[in-house]
Amino acid sequence: MSTGPHFGASAYLERIGIDGPIRPVASDLARLHRAQRCTIPFENFDILLGRPIDIRPAAIFAKLVERRRGGYCFEQNGLFMSALAAFGFEARFALARVHLGPQPTGLTHVLILVRIGGEDWLADVGFGGGGPRAPLRLVRDVVQRHDRLAFRLVECAPFGTMLEVETDGSWRRLYSFEDRPVLPVDLALGNHYTSSHPDSFFTYARVASRVEPDGRTALYDHRLTIERGGVTTEETVGGGAAYIEMLAQRFGIELDAPFEALRPLHPPPAER
């Protein structure tokens, strides 16, 4: 996913709401990370419309920037990698196993490792389940805090490095990764499984999330969760045009299809 003529720096900066110039330094890495995380929603609706997820850089840019849609990790971090390359950062992909369920997944999450002045940073604008909002220094056993959140990276054999978040006074695993070479075919395989395999969460659940300065808004099918200033509320969203309007108002997702087209492709594994 190298950068090229497909990437328009000015259009990207306008999309995420910040001005240049951008230099390959830690402070500007954080500016870009926070801006994209808070602007472009995490979402999977093209999958549930039966559309393939194209992770070629030009296709990602067209969808997330020009058409102002959102996407999931392969799209979000694919776009962010193009931006980092365009602004002169030294960056590389890493593949991760998600540990939110009873068993770790395959290598179906992608993140970015960025080297600045001899120091490595973890950048991830594409983890929808409460991931970091700002880059994290790639050091183990050090608690790093931002936006009322606390993260740490720990050794976790045999999976490599584990990213954990503090939740209700205890540490919860998010994902594990190793700093190994990632080829385009590795990204293609992970994206193909995540967007099409019947056991993939994204093929049967309607999900969206958007980070806010003081919280987060998240959608799971018809359940809308709103976190603001440490207070969480939930509401149920109906179907039809009201659902499509909610996507536009809450997440900035303008779908070109009716609600009826968003029916899950198949039931979740527990119901089969």
**Chain position carrying tokens 């369920």:** 101
Catalytic choice (38, 109, 168, 197):
109
Judge whether 73 counts as a catalytic residue. Answer: yes
Catalytic residue among 33, 46, 73, 99: 73
Long-range contacts of 104-110 (CB under 8 A, 24+ apart): 104/159, 104/176, 106/190, 106/193, 107/186, 107/190, 108/190, 108/193, 108/194, 108/200, 109/73, 109/175, 109/190, 110/73, 110/74, 110/77, 110/78, 110/182, 110/187, 110/190
Contacts of 120 (CB under 8 A, 6+ apart): 113, 114, 137, 138
User: Any catalytic annotation for residue 38?
Assistant: no
Residue 156 annotated as catalytic: no
Catalytic residue among 124, 168, 221, 222: 124
Residue carrying the six token digits 């997440």:
251
Active site residues: 73, 109, 124
